[in-house]
A and B are shown apart, each in its own frame.
Chain A
Amino acid sequence: AQSVAQPEDQVNVAEGNPLTVKCTYSVSGNPYLFWYVQYPNRGLQFLLKYITGDNLVKGSYGFEAEFNKSQTSFHLKKPSALVSDSALYFCAVRDALYGGATNKLIFGTGTLLAVQP
C-alpha cells in the first residue's frame, strides 16, 4: 500500500539553528513528492516538490528538501530557522496507481515545528 510517514509529531528548534522535518514514503514506481505548510487557521500552502532531476529541491521561504531513493526519504530542511517558520508541515506523495490522471495525494499526519526565540 502507498503511504507517507512523518515519524515526529513535533520538532523543537532554536531560532538560527538548522532544522529538519522527516518524511519517508512507500510507493510503487517513481514518486512525486510534496511538502506543504499550514499556519494556524489557514489552508495548506505549497512549499516545494520533487518530480525528477536533482535530489536537492529548493522551495519557498528558504526551505529545501533532499530526495533519497535508497532510504525512501524526502526530509525538509532549512539552514537557519525563524520563529515565523513555526507551523504544521505536511509531506505528501502522489498516488502512483493513477499517475497524473487524477493527481490524488496521500498525506502524512503532519509535524508541528516550534521555533523558540
Chain B
Amino acid sequence: NAGVTQTPKFQVLKTGQSMTLQCAQDMNHEYMSWYRQDPGMGLRLIHYSVGAGITDQGEVPNGYNVSRSTTEDFPLRLLSAAPSQTSVYFCASSYTGTRSGEQYFGPGTRLTVT
C-alpha cells in the first residue's frame, strides 16, 4: 500500500519557470490538499479538493493552480515561480464526512527558486 506519494523529492527552479508537483493516493480518499511548510509558520493550506472536479482555495493560493480530474491525483502547478515560493510542499489526503479523521501526508517536495 503506497499511501500518498509525491514527486519530485527535490526541485530547483529559476524565477519565472513553471512546473507541476505531482501527488497521488491509493486509499480512495475524497479529500486531498496541498500545504506549504516554512520555518516558524507551521503548515499553510494552499488548495484543497473534496472530490474529482471540485477544488477550492486555501489560505495562500496565489501563484498556484490545481485540478482534480481523478480521485487519485491532485497536481499542484506553479505558474511563474518566485523566490517567495521556496518552501517544502506536502500533499495530504483523508476521508470526509462521517469517516473523516486524520490526514495522511506524503513525504514532501523541497522546492528552491533562485
Determine if B102 and A49 form an interchain contact, defined as CB atoms under 8 angstroms apart: yes
> A42-B107, A44-B90 are known contacts. Are A100 and B48 too (CB-CB below 8 A)?
no
B84-99 contact mask (Cβ, 8 Å, vs A): 1 or 0: 0000001010111110
Chain A interface residues toward B at CB < 8 A = 9, 34, 36, 41-46, 49, 51, 90, 94, 100-105, 107-110
Q: Is B27 an interface residue (CB 8 A)?
A: no
B15-55 contact mask (Cβ, 8 Å, vs A): 1 or 0: 00000000000000001010100001111110010100000
Determine if A43 and B96 form an interchain contact, defined as CB atoms under 8 angstroms apart: no
One of B31, B42, B90, B100 near A110 (C-beta < 8 A) = B42
One of B31, B40, B101 near A49 (C-beta < 8 A) = B101
Taking A101-B50, A109-B40 as known contacts, 11 extra A-B pairs with beta carbons closer than 8 A to each other, sorted by chain A number, are A9-B40, A34-B102, A36-B105, A43-B4, A44-B43, A100-B97, A103-B94, A104-B33, A104-B48, A107-B43, A109-B42
Query: What is the bound-complex CA distance between A110 and B44, given in angstroms?
Result: 12
B51-70 contact mask (Cβ, 8 Å, vs A): 1 or 0: 00000101000000000000
Query: What is the bound-complex CA distance between A94 and B92, given in angstroms?
Result: 14
> A102-B48, A103-B96, A109-B40 are known contacts. Are A44 and B105 too (CB-CB below 8 A)?
yes
Determine if A45 and B105 form an interchain contact, defined as CB atoms under 8 angstroms apart: yes
Q: Is B114 an interface residue (CB 8 A)?
A: no
Chain A residues with CB below 8 A from B40, complex form: 9, 109
Chain B residues with CB below 8 A from A108, complex form: 42
Query: What is the bound-complex CA distance between A51 and B101, given in angstroms?
Result: 9
Chain A residue with Cβ nearest B59: A106
Query: What is the bound-complex CA distance between A9 and B39, given in angstroms?
Result: 11
CB distance from B81 to the nearest CB of A (A): 22
* Selected A-B contacts with CB under 8 Å, 10 pairs: A36-B105, A41-B108, A43-B106, A44-B92, A44-B105, A49-B101, A100-B97, A103-B94, A104-B33, A109-B41
Determine if B97 and A101 form an interchain contact, defined as CB atoms under 8 angstroms apart: yes
Query: What is the bound-complex CA distance between A36 and B56, given in angstroms?
Result: 24
Determine if A103 and B42 form an interchain contact, defined as CB atoms under 8 angstroms apart: no
One of B4, B42, B45, B96 near A101 (C-beta < 8 A) = B96
